[in-house]
Amino acid sequence: MMGQASIDDHLTDYLPATHPLSPRQAFQCFPPLTASFLAYQPSWIWDQDTASLPVPLAELRRQTRSFAERVLAPRALEADRHPHDPAMEAAVLKEAAEAGMLYNHLPQPIGSGAMSLVDYPLQWAATVKVEELCAACGGWGLFLSAHALGLMPLLVAGDKKILKRFVIPANRRTQEGEPYLFAFAITEPGAGSDVEEGYGASICKPNTVARRAEGGWILNGRKLFISGGDIANAVTAFAALDGEDLQSWTCFLVENQMPGFHRIRNELKMGQRASGATELEFRDVFVPDDHVIGGLRNGWALNRASLNCSRQPVAAIALGIARMAMDAAIDFACRFRMGGRPLLDYQEIQIRVADMIGQTSAMRSMIWQHASRQVVTQANASMCKVHCSDAAVGVCQMAMELLGNHGVLHQNHVEKQFRDARLTQIYEGTNQINRLAIIEDFQETFLSWQNGYPGRRERT
Ligand X SMILES: Cc1cc2nc3c(=O)[nH]c(=O)nc-3n(C[C@H](O)[C@H](O)[C@H](O)COP(=O)(O)OP(=O)(O)OC[C@H]3O[C@@H](n4cnc5c(N)ncnc54)[C@H](O)[C@@H]3O)c2cc1C
Q: Contact positions toward ligand X, by CB under 6 A?
A: 146, 184-187, 192-193, 196, 225-227, 269, 277, 423, 426-430, 432-433, 436
Report yes or no: 232 and 277 within 8 Å, Cβ to Cβ.
no
- Give the residue with the Cβ less far from ligand X, 293 or 330: 293
Distances (CA, A) of 125 to 106, 149, 193, 212, 241: 8, 14, 28, 39, 35
- Give the residue with the Cβ less far from ligand X, 287 or 349: 287
- Give the residue with the Cβ less far from ligand X, 344 or 386: 386
Distant-in-sequence, close-in-space partners of 249: CB < 8 Å, separation ≥ 6: 206, 238, 239, 240, 297, 299, 300, 303
Q: How far is the CB of 442 from ligand X (least distance, A)?
A: 17
- Give the residue with the Cβ less far from ligand X, 229 or 407: 229
Partners of 223 in beta bridges: 280
Half-sphere exposure of 167 (CA within 13 A, CB side): 28
Q: Is 92 exposed, middle or buried (0-12, 13-18, 19+ CB in 10 A)?
A: buried
Q: What angle do CA 269, 274, 280 make, to 5 degrees?
A: 65
Q: How far is the CB of 42 from ligand X (least distance, A)?
A: 39
- Give the residue with the Cβ less far from ligand X, 82 or 164: 82
Q: How far is the CB of 343 from ligand X (least distance, A)?
A: 33
Is residue 164 helix, strand or coil? Answer: helix
- Give the residue with the Cβ less far from ligand X, 185 or 343: 185
Closest by Cα among 321, 269, 280, 304 to 145: 321
- Give the residue with the Cβ less far from ligand X, 80 or 345: 80
Q: How far is the CB of 414 from ligand X (least distance, A)?
A: 20
Report which DSSP code applies to 188.
Answer: B
Distances (CA, A) of 9 to 13, 14, 427: 12, 10, 46
Maximal CA-CA distance, the chain: 84
Q: How far is the CB of 194 from ligand X (least distance, A)?
A: 6
User: How many of the other CB atoms lie within 10 Å of CB of 173?
Assistant: 14
Q: How far is the CB of 46 from ligand X (least distance, A)?
A: 27
Q: How far is the CB of 303 from ligand X (least distance, A)?
A: 9
DSSP-based helix, strand, coil % in the chain, nearest 5: 55, 15, 30
SS3 assignment for 329-361 = HHHHHHHCEECCEEHHHCHHHHHHHHHHHHHHH
Q: How far is the CB of 190 from ligand X (least distance, A)?
A: 8
Residue 210 backbone phi and psi in degrees, to 5? -110, 125
Distances (CA, A) of 134 to 64, 67, 330, 392: 10, 12, 18, 12
List of long-range contacts for 407-413, beta carbons under 8 Å, 24+ apart: 410/77, 410/80, 410/81, 411/77, 412/328, 412/332, 413/76, 413/77, 413/324, 413/325, 413/328
Residues, the chain: 460
Closest by Cα among 366, 368, 342 to 353: 342
The helix-helix angle for 378-403 and 347-371 (nearest 10°) equals 160
Q: How far is the CB of 199 from ligand X (least distance, A)?
A: 7
Q: How far is the CB of 238 from ligand X (least distance, A)?
A: 8
- Give the residue with the Cβ less far from ligand X, 101 or 152: 152
- Give the residue with the Cβ less far from ligand X, 10 or 84: 84
Q: How far is the CB of 428 from ligand X (least distance, A)?
A: 6
Q: How far is the CB of 318 from ligand X (least distance, A)?
A: 13
- Give the residue with the Cβ less far from ligand X, 196 or 415: 196
- Give the residue with the Cβ less far from ligand X, 277 or 309: 277
- Give the residue with the Cβ less far from ligand X, 63 or 378: 378
